[in-house]
């Protein structure tokens, strides 16, 4: 994040801020001079590091052990880093005055003169002008700074927490220092001094580039609104958040330009193709009805932010078998009337051969948190209509496998996403959980004998739940490990195969036919090793292991299927293409 100071020199009440900037410049110049002094030895393969002690507070053997020092290092930069790490460790262990008095570089040898100084302890740390409520919120515990060894790290952490507290509440230039420092009998007393500096508010959010996106949508999505207090925790992850928006791409990192107690936020985004239409159709003569044709295929239409407000229109139709087809329509409209609320709706049609027809309609209200995070309440209406001829089932004496039914469920869902890059993450996690409950009513078929329904409860209570969670662990050499859990269960006095979950295929259990397995309860654990070829492509080796139960009427099935294989996923102009070879 780039912070540009505009007109700061006109403020007479900010001398400490100008002094801080000058000191930063001085430190940078000192570092440049130091690097120039040692540049002649950068090309050496091995550098000998010799540590000489200015005092003998601790033995040389102990000093080497504390700093984990070696006699030889691969190059000068590594040796310099080892010296700096030694000072950090010494100060963390209470040698607050530790420093390097002199450094001499002779060809492939570095000689550093170190003084450790005495080991000091805290007598007390006074919060000073930092409010007690703030000290509690940042986790300050007075007993940690009474009669305990001085830890530079502990002090730094405390100061950073206080500064972060104010950075997230309108004070991006807050500073915390120690004053009233006194040392008596090896015990240190000090007082915290807080300088909040001016309060800043976000005046304007300006989008630069070709992106077709409304500023209001971006304000709601990022959680940064006009005239809100400056919040570093919202500003810092802007680049990560915008990467998660499918229809824009970041041109360069955002900038914050500070004026007189106001700040302008510049975000640089170009449009990116996200909407798509593709499909394939097959027409062939029907073997069952001469003179007629059979149409099979798959169609997909996805319109994303066509009206610049992040709305989604998603349509898909699939018919890969003669009598089985699937239709899905999903509509979503976020930030309705410039609020955190949005609408979400789904319609599904699933026809299974000549057995049954499922219809499902769901309407939900989402409350958006930050980025893609949201909570949702919804109403879910489902119906099943049996298609099989009643003359084929009316003579049986057992309960029917499927019945006409109507189900009404009401529930809530929660989504939380923390990925470094949504399309091809290397680290982070993604979580979605959903639970619903309601009633189911069986509609008896008048053509079916009444004894077929004996033992079935016409009106019953039903409970459904779904969980999807992924966790990405980065490992060296452009690789990551993905651990994924996917599960669902339904409970009711009467369950039928027509309403069961359908698993199998690319999105759930690879190595098995698409949606070939019916389950009333399932859990799938996935482990993947991914080697990232570029930001949008990767090679993968995977294992999917599942356990499922089918406790539908007339069914008592349990199994532990698993699949494993290799695959590749790569970016194309029309989207991301995935190819997997799996054995199940």
Of the residues 214, 242, 271, the one at which a domain ends: 271
Average the pLDDT over 35-47 and give the result: 51
Q: Which of 219, 254, 271 is the last residue of a domain?
A: 271
d(CA 219, CA 238): 11
Domain check: are 148 and 176 in the same one?
yes
What pLDDT band is residue 150 in, cutting at 50, 70 and 90? Answer: low
DSSP secondary structure string for all residues of 329-370 = EEEEE-SGGGSSEEEEEEEEEEEETTTEEEEEEEEEEEEE-S
419 and 397 assigned to the same domain: yes
Tell me: do 253 and 389 sit in the same domain. Answer: no
Whether 383 is in a domain gets the answer: yes
Q: Which residues pair with 104 in a beta bridge?
A: 111
If you average pLDDT over residues 101-117, what whole number do you get? 82
**Does 476 lie in the same domain as 402?**
yes
Domain boundary pick from 148, 163, 195: 195
One domain, residues 135 and 250: no
Q: How far apart are CA 82 and CA 85, in angstroms?
A: 5
The verdict on 463 and 406 lying in the same domain is: yes
Q: Which residue has the higher pLDDT, 425 or 19?
A: 425
List the one residue out of 272, 259, 322, 329 whose CA is nearest residue 300.
Answer: 329
187 and 220 inside one domain = no
Do 511 and 544 form a contact (C-beta atoms < 8 A)? Answer: yes
Confidence of residue 406 (pLDDT cuts 50, 70, 90): very high
Any domain includes 438:
yes
Query: Same domain, yes or no, for 175 and 246?
Result: no
Q: What is the mean pLDDT of residues 36-45?
A: 46
CA 400/CA 456 separation, integer angstroms: 10
d(CA 230, CA 76): 42
Report the alpha-carbon distance of residue 317 to residue 350 in Å, rounded.
10
Q: Which two tokens stand for residue 225?
A: 């609104």
CATH of the domain at 391: 2.40.160.50
Number of domains in the chain: 3
163 pLDDT higher than 50: yes
**Residue 575 pLDDT greater than 60, yes or no:** yes
Q: Is 109 among the domain residues?
A: no
- Co-location of 245 and 385 in the same domain: no
Q: Is residue 52 part of a domain?
A: no
Domain interval for residue 187: 121-195
Within a domain: residue 550? yes
Would you say residue 391 has pLDDT above 50? no
Q: Residue 553 pLDDT more than 60?
A: yes
Q: What is the signed CA dihedral for 52, 56, 62, 67, rounded to 10 degrees?
A: -50
Same-domain pairing of 571 and 494? yes
The CA-to-CA distance between both ends of the chain, in Å, stands at: 48
Q: For residues 184 and 50, give the distance between their C-alpha atoms in angstroms, rounded to a whole number.
A: 34
Of 123-137, 290-304, 421-435, the least confident: 290-304
SS3 string, 24-78, reads HHHHHHHHHHHHHHHHHHCCCCCEEEEEEECCCCCCHHHHHHHHCCCCEECCHHH
pLDDT of residue 449: 63
The confidence band for 169, taking pLDDT boundaries of 50, 70 and 90, is very high
What pLDDT, on the 0 to 100 scale, is given for residue 294? 75
Taking the CA of residue 522 as centre, how many other CA atoms within 13 Å lie in the half-sphere pointing to its CB? 26
**Average pLDDT score over the chain:** 83
Predicted confidence at residue 7, as pLDDT, reads: 31
| Segment 367-394 mean pLDDT | 82
Answer whether residue 346 is part of any domain.
no
Residue 459 and residue 540 in one domain: yes
In a domain, 30, yes or no: no
Domain check: are 397 and 487 in the same one? yes
Residue 14 has pLDDT above 60, yes or no: no
Give a yes or no: residue 76 inside a domain: no
CATH of the domain at 208: 3.10.20.310
């Amino acid at each position: 994040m780039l912070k540009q100071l505009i007109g700061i020199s006109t403020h007479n009440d900010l001398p400490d801020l100008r002094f801080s900037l000058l000191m930063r410049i001085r430190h940078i110049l000192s570092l440049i001079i130091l690097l120039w002094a040692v540049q002649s030895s950068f090309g050496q393969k091995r550098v000998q590091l010799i540590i000489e002690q200015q005092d003998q507070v601790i033995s040389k053997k102990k000093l080497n052990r504390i700093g984990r020092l070696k006699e030889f290092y691969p190059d000068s930069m590594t040796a310099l880093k080892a010296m700096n790490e030694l000072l950090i460790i010494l100060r963390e262990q209470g040698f607050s005055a530790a420093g390097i008095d002199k450094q001499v570089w002779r060809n492939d040898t570095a000689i550093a003169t170190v003084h450790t100084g005495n080991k000091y302890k805290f007598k007390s740390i006074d919060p000073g002008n930092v409010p007690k409520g703030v000290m509690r919120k940042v986790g300050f515990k007075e007993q940690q700074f009474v009669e305990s060894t001085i830890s530079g790290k502990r002090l730094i952490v405390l100061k950073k927490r206080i500064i972060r507290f104010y950075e997230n509440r309108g004070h991006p230039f807050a500073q915390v220092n120690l004053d009233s420092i006194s040392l008596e009998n090896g015990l240190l007393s000090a007082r915290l001094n807080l300088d909040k500096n001016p309060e800043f508010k976000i005046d304007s959010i300006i989008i630069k580039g070709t992106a077709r996106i409304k500023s209001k949508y971006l304000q709601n999505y990022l959680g940064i609104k006009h005239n809100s207090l400056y919040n570093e925790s919202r500003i810092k992850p802007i680049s990560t958040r915008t990467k998660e928006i499918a229809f824009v791409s970041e041109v360069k990192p955002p900038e914050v330009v500070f004026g007189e107690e106001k700040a302008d936020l510049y975000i640089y985004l170009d449009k990116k193709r996200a909407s798509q239409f593709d499909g394939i159709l097959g027409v062939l003569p029907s073997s069952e009805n001469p003179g007629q044709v059979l149409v099979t295929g798959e169609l997909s239409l996805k319109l994303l932010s066509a009206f610049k407000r992040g709305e989604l229109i998603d349509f898909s139709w699939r018919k890969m078998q003669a009598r089985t087809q699937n239709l899905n329509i999903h509509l979503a409209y976020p930030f309705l009337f410039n609020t955190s609320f949005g609408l979400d709706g789904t319609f599904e049609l699933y026809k299974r051969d000549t057995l049954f027809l499922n219809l499902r309609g769901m309407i939900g209200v989402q409350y958006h948190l930050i980025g893609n995070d949201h909570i949702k309440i919804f109403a879910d209406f489902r119906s099943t209509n049996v298609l099989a001829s009643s003359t084929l089932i009316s003579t049986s004496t057992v309960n029917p496998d499927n019945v006409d039914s109507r189900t009404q469920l009401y529930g809530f869902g929660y989504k939380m996403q923390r990925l470094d890059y949504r399309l091809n993450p290397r680290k982070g996690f993604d979580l979605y959980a959903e639970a619903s409950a309601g009633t189911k009513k069986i509609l008896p078929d008048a053509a079916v004998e009444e004894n077929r329904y004996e033992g079935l409860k016409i009106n019953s209570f039903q409970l459904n739940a779904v969980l999807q969670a992924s966790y990405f662990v980065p490992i060296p050499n452009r690789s990551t490990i993905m651990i994924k859990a996917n599960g669902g269960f339904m409970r009711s006095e009467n369950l039928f195969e027509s309403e069961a979950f359908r698993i199998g295929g690319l999105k759930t259990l690879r190595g098995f036919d698409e949606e070939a397995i019916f389950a009333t309860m399932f859990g799938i654990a996935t482990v993947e090793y991914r080697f990232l070829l570029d930001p949008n492509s990767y090679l993968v080796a995977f294992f999917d292991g599942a356990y499922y139960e089918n406790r539908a009427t007339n069914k008592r099935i349990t199994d532990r299927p698993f699949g494993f294989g290799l695959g590749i996923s790569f970016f194309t102009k029309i989207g991301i293409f995935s190819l997997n070879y799996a054995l199940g």
